[in-house]
């Protein structure tokens, strides 16, 4: 009997995005999060006395030129060397772009599979055959899984592959292949990488995306970690997720439909934050607050969005190690603005203006054309962040539609506030 550890998408020294602008943000935790999560991975491997560790791509985070990142990795896997734990790894799309990958000399307990063709390594003492191939270029669109060798008889056969399979939302379609392609190889376990959300694709045989070990922004929410695999009598006996993240991201949705006053809304928000904190298992929490529902306080929320955001941020900090990444005011008006909104009179100029704003549709392209800074900002963001969670930098995206709607609702709320006080 023995165990091994399967991890992927480490993205060492990748910045955590979303909290940088706030004075109370945990700057040091943000900078060190991926390193601390990797330390947790090393500690887990040693504590569990695993036979080997599999790293299924994207150890690094693109074309970094800071060799301290690579030196950190070498230092940590040297700890595994002292514990007689071997490491087997393939390069992913981010590693293919990394200068570090091509320059550092790896310790002798680390085996990096070739990027030219699939290779096989056997561990005779354990009866294990490992098959893998890395990326020779970032935008790999070939189905390299088809070329993996046939399983070795009387061995536990494990495939190591960085792939999108047939595609997953928010991830580039690199090294695509089908489930049937993997099943046809007859391996006992497929250690996959590239998809940052944990997924057990199949269990006979086991085909697993462990997810990344540390969430880096709001589109990587929930527990993050690695997969511990137990082998008994030459068969996979158990597959278990182990949490390794040091800071957790969460989307907190609060329905304000039944909140008749702002105070009731704030209490509902407080309860929602507390609930999310309870699910973070003692970790600091980076939280996005999304307010929904046909709310009686809809107009007040949009009118006072800026001061309320600061109030919600103070509420979060008061509850513990919670940092508010963003507030999305996604409530709706309980009734449509038609006829005589808010008693303004059906033919008053203000009523006409409110209804005109309500009907107004921002034209595609208008946001980036009218506010060049937004276009400039989007152009500077890395492609993977733009694609994850629908943050595509075009005006047909969910992000742009949400922004247009939020601007419209804020204008209406301001108008109605002025009308109520005339």
**CB neighbour list of residue 381: distance below 8 Å, 6 or more residues apart:** 391, 393
- Return the number of other C-beta atoms located less than 10 Å from residue 112's C-beta: 18
What's the distance, CA 66 to chain centroid?
24
Q: Give whole-number Cα distances, 2 to 5, 238, 284, in Å.
A: 11, 11, 34
Count CB-CB contacts under 10 A for residue 124: 8
The whole-number pLDDT of residue 138 equals 79
**How many C-beta atoms lie closer than 10 Å to residue 272's C-beta?**
18
What is the Cα–Cα distance from 164 to 195, expressed in whole angstroms?
Answer: 7
* Contact status, residue 179 vs residue 167, Cβ threshold 8 Å: no
Angle between helices 349-359 and 398-420 in degrees, nearest 10: 170
The whole-angstrom separation of Cα 72 and Cα 35 is: 8
The side-by-side arrangement of strands in the sheet containing 322-329 is 248-255, 285-292, 322-329
Q: Where are the alpha helices (DSSP H) in 48-138?
A: 67-82, 93-96, 99-103
Residue 313 makes CB contacts below 8 A (sequence gap 6+) with 22, 24, 324
Residues 210, 73 contacting (CB under 8 angstroms): no
Name residue 332's beta-bridge partners: 294
Question: How far lies 198's CA from each of 6, 40, 128, 241, in Å?
Answer: 12, 18, 24, 9
Two structure tokens written together for 93: 């799309």
All domains in the chain, ordered by first residue: 2-243 (3.60.21.10), 248-420 (no CATH)
Contact indicator for 109, 88 with CB cutoff of 8 Å: no
pLDDT at 389 (0 to 100): 41
Contact 194, 164 (CB under 8 A): yes
Question: What CA–CA distances, in Å, run from 230 to 43, 114, 132?
Answer: 17, 27, 20
Task: Say how many CA atoms lie within 13 Å of 172 toward its Cβ.
Answer: 16
Q: Phi and psi for 241 in degrees, rounded to 5?
A: -80, 135
Cα distance between residue 302 and residue 329, in whole Å? 7
Signed CA dihedral, 388, 390, 391, 396: sign only: positive
| DSSP H/E element including 246 | none
Alpha-carbon separation of residue 175 from 72, 83, 284, 313, 348 (angstroms): 28, 34, 35, 42, 62
Would you give per-residue pLDDT tens digits along the chain (422 residues)? 999 999 999 999 888 877 766 666 667 777 789 999 999 999 999 999 999 999 998 898 866 666 788 889 999 999 999 999 999 999 988 776 566 666 678 899 999 999 999 999 999 999 999 999 998 887 788 899 999 999 999 999 999 999 998 877 767 788 899 999 999 999 999 999 999 999 999 999 999 999 999 999 999 999 999 999 999 999 999 999 999 999 999 999 999 999 999 999 999 999 999 999 999 999 999 999 999 999 999 989 988 899 999 999 999 989 988 989 999 999 988 865 554 444 445 555 555 655 565 555 555 555 556 556 555 655 555 444 444 444 444 445 555 556 556 665 666 666 555 444 43
C-alpha 268, offset from chain centre: 27
Predicted local distance difference test score (pLDDT) of residue 388: 42
């Amino acid at each position: 009997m023995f165990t091994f550890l399967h991890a992927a998408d480490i993205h060492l020294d990748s910045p955590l995005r979303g909290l940088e602008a706030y004075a109370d943000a945990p700057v040091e935790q943000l900078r060190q999060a991926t390193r601390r999560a990797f330390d947790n991975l090393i500690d887990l491997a040693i504590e569990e006395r695993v036979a080997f560790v599999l790293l299924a791509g994207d150890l690094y985070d693109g074309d970094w030129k800071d060799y301290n990142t690579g030196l950190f990795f070498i230092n940590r896997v040297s700890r595994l060397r002292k514990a007689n734990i071997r490491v087997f790894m393939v390069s992913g799309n981010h590693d293919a772009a990394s200068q570090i990958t091509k320059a550092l000399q790896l310790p002798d307990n680390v085996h990096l599979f070739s990027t030219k063709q699939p290779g096989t390594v056997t561990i005779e003492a354990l009866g294990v055959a490992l098959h893998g191939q890395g990326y020779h270029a970032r935008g790999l669109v070939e189905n390299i899984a088809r070329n993996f060798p046939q399983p070795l008889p009387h061995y536990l056969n494990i495939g190591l592959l960085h792939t999108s399979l047939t595609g997953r939302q928010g991830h580039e379609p690199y090294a695509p292949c089908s489930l049937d392609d993997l099943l046809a190889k007859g391996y006992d376990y497929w250690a996959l990488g590239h998809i940052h959300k944990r997924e057990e694709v199949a269990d006979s045989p086991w085909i697993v995306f462990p997810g990344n070990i540390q969430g880096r922004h709001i589109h990587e929410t929930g527990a993050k970690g690695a997969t511990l695999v137990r082998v008994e009598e030459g068969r996979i006996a158990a597959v278990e997720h182990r949490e390794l993240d040091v800071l957790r991201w969460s989307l907190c949705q609060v329905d304000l439909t039944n909140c008749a006053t702002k105070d009731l809304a704030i209490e509902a928000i407080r309860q929602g934050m507390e609930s999310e904190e309870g699910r973070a298992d003692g970790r600091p929490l980076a939280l996005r607050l999304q307010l929904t529902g046909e709310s009686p306080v809809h107009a007040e929320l949009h009118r006072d969005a800026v001061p309320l955001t600061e109030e919600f941020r103070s509420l979060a900090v008061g509850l513990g190690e919670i940092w508010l990444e963003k507030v999305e005011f996604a409530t709706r008006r309980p009734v449509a603005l038609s006829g005589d909104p808010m008693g303004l009179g059906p033919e008053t100029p203000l009523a006409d203006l409110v209804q005109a704003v309500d009907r107004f549709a921002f034209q595609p392209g208008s946001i980036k054309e009218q506010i060049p800074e937004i276009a400039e900002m989007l152009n500077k963001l890395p492609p993977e962040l733009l694609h994850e969670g629908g943050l595509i930098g075009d005006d047909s995206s969910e992000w742009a539609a949400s922004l247009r709607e939020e601007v419209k609702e804020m204008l209406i709320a301001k108008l109605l506030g002025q009308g109520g006080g005339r």
